[in-house]
A and B are shown apart, each in its own frame.
Chain A
């Protein structure tokens, strides 16, 4: 069977000394930074992105993927120990994980979260390997109308499912599309929205947008809120979960994995909804639902597995179709483009070493998380004590040098400030920035495919409906919008994506 030989090839790439080292480094640095309060995965990846420019593509992607799930795992650690979710998807873990920590059971909570994540990660990796070939084969038959509608679906799904109002989400995504168009129009050679600024001719650099919108705005938000944290660090005694814990957890882990994989593949749905969904399921089917919120281990095991499964499966649309389903995946895709690789279904055949190496490294990375993290809990806990006034200068130093070195241009640094201010305004107006980065990245692709499709149809919009796959995507996008107009569903969504602040 091909699958095994492909995976074996992937492992042969991932197990070379250099790539393994980058995987270890990525997971370690990712967890380290993910644990730091106020620094989520998006910020981590945005800030560290420039460090990978000099690496070969597979090494860069392997390291970034390591940072990605390292940071996600670090977020769970802070959720359990300090009741502070590193990202919104860990918010659910706070509910029971923190209660477990208060009862002196931080060790088992952390261990179960690691084990659950590992099981989910293994399954996720396997699922990517199975689905990659058929999905890319399907996508290779997509023409311009199909891609156009698929991008519309991805943008709508992300915009509709983020926190806050649907109209704002869509408007932010489209604003991203608009900013993505700045620079030379590839079809006509005219430069658009450059305002005579020489640095803008090649378009606004992706890293500039990502760092401004996420890192800069996040720093200001953190500085506006005074620090207060309580850490239950003294009480971490037994790390190993008891037999009873394992017995209680295995089924929630498997169910969480299934829920997470499903939501991970869908564009836009993502980890937050997956972990919330899993928590709701566990609570519903439990014979003792009153234990939830008071330190039930099932409430940690299920959501953590779901979170990680969906984090893994989010790579499926990103790698096979070139369409990211979340802000973080948009960053990964942006990194790929900076490496000079055009994302899309052709990556699998043109860069098999990158594709399979990355998949194999994900599994290795998940294993590393378990091996590295449990013994290093002490280190992570001490990281938690670092005050934010030490952290933000570090983030600033790395982002400023990182931005500057992309093109050796001070204009990029100033542009970052502009996007930072935009991010700050978004934040104050309750507009989520994630759809912006997605729109920014997909905007040029959307325009090119839209133009091609309209050229094919000689100017008739019917082409998007007469092509069945394209019609299906548009119908799905429409269905999402209609669903969100129904009040009860909208309320459920708001509960699911509620971010603890």
Chain B
């Protein structure tokens, strides 16, 4: 089976919609006149799931109209995500300087160009700008170091 855009979107919507409806089923449903907290999310979840099913069925019935998913490059996705996650891990205990340095260095792995000197310069300059704007300019309380 070809993994096509419409097919996969359909699966995604079905999963989100059905998942939400199942979770929201655990909340008080109520009646249309006196809705509980579950009514609206269940209804929306079911509609999303139906749309997912329509997309899946349409893609299976007319496979020609559906495009294959383009080539995936995991390098940018993985390294940019990792960079931000690490920033989140470090910011509270290690402070702004270390977390920003880690953010920029890991994010750099997502691309391929540029010299080490350029990278070092970028780390220094960006940290200086960030400290200048956020800590001195906007007076936001952020720890610089550990």
Residues in A whose Cβ lies below 8 Å from that of B87: 400, 404, 413
Contacts A174-B44, A224-B73; A185 near B37 (Cβ below 8 A): yes
Mask, A208-252, CB within 8 Å of B = 1, is: 000000001001100110000000000000000000000000000
Look across to chain B and name the residue whose beta carbon is closest to the beta carbon of A186.
Answer: B37
Does any Cβ of B come within 8 Å of A175's Cβ?
Answer: yes
B81 to chain A, nearest CB (A): 5
Binding site for A on B (CB under 8 A): 5-6, 8-9, 12-13, 16-17, 20, 23-24, 27-28, 31-37, 39-41, 44-45, 47-48, 51-52, 54-55, 67, 69-70, 72-73, 75-77, 80-81, 83-85, 87-89, 91-92, 96, 100, 103-104, 107-108, 110-111, 113-114, 122, 126, 129-130, 133-134, 138-140, 142
Contacts A190-B28, A396-B104; A167 near B55 (Cβ below 8 A): yes
Q: Give me 7 A-to-B residue pairs in the complex whose CB atoms sit less than 8 angstroms apart, sorted by A's number.
A: A190-B37, A192-B41, A193-B41, A389-B111, A397-B104, A420-B80, A429-B69
Instruction: List 20 additional A-B contacts (Cβ < 8 Å) besides A190-B28, A389-B111, A420-B80.
Output: A51-B133, A165-B55, A171-B55, A185-B27, A192-B27, A192-B41, A193-B23, A392-B107, A396-B83, A396-B103, A396-B104, A400-B100, A401-B130, A405-B140, A413-B84, A414-B88, A417-B84, A424-B77, A429-B5, A454-B33
Contact A389 B33 (CB under 8 A): no
A197 to chain B, nearest CB (A): 14
Contact B88 A410 (CB under 8 A): yes
Contacts A171-B51, A393-B104, A429-B8; A421 near B40 (Cβ below 8 A): no
Partner of B80, one of A51, A396, A428: A396
- Rounded to whole angstroms, the CA-CA distance of A314 and B39 in the bound complex is 33
Mask, A159-171, CB within 8 Å of B = 1, is: 0000001011011
Residues in B whose Cβ lies below 8 Å from that of A196: none
A213 to chain B, nearest CB (A): 14
Which 9 pairs of residues, A with B, have the shortest CB-CB distance? A459-B33, A413-B88, A459-B32, A223-B76, A171-B51, A410-B88, A185-B37, A429-B9, A190-B37
- Rounded to whole angstroms, the CA-CA distance of A397 and B24 in the bound complex is 37
Chain A residues bordering chain B, tally (CB within 8 A): 61
Contacts A178-B20, A219-B80, A429-B8; A397 near B142 (Cβ below 8 A): no
Q: Count how many pairs of residues, one from A and one from B, have CB atoms less than 8 Å apart in the complex.
A: 178
Contacts A397-B103, A401-B134, A454-B35; A223 near B111 (Cβ below 8 A): yes
Contacts A192-B41, A405-B140; A171 near B48 (Cβ below 8 A): yes
Residues in A whose Cβ lies below 8 Å from that of B89: 410
Residues in B whose Cβ lies below 8 Å from that of A400: 84, 87-88, 91, 100, 103
Residues in A whose Cβ lies below 8 Å from that of B100: 397, 400-401
- Rounded to whole angstroms, the CA-CA distance of A454 and B85 in the bound complex is 43
- Rounded to whole angstroms, the CA-CA distance of A185 and B139 in the bound complex is 34
Residues in A whose Cβ lies below 8 Å from that of B47: 174
- Rounded to whole angstroms, the CA-CA distance of A246 and B33 in the bound complex is 62
Contact A167 B54 (CB under 8 A): yes
Residues in A whose Cβ lies below 8 Å from that of B130: 397-398, 401
- Rounded to whole angstroms, the CA-CA distance of A460 and B8 in the bound complex is 37
Contact A454 B32 (CB under 8 A): yes
Contacts A178-B45, A224-B73, A454-B32; A171 near B13 (Cβ below 8 A): yes
A180 to chain B, nearest CB (A): 10
Residues in B whose Cβ lies below 8 Å from that of A388: 111
B12 to chain A, nearest CB (A): 7
A377 to chain B, nearest CB (A): 25
Does any Cβ of B come within 8 Å of A198's Cβ?
Answer: no
Residues in B whose Cβ lies below 8 Å from that of A416: 84
Look across to chain A and name the residue whose beta carbon is closest to the beta carbon of B4.
Answer: A429
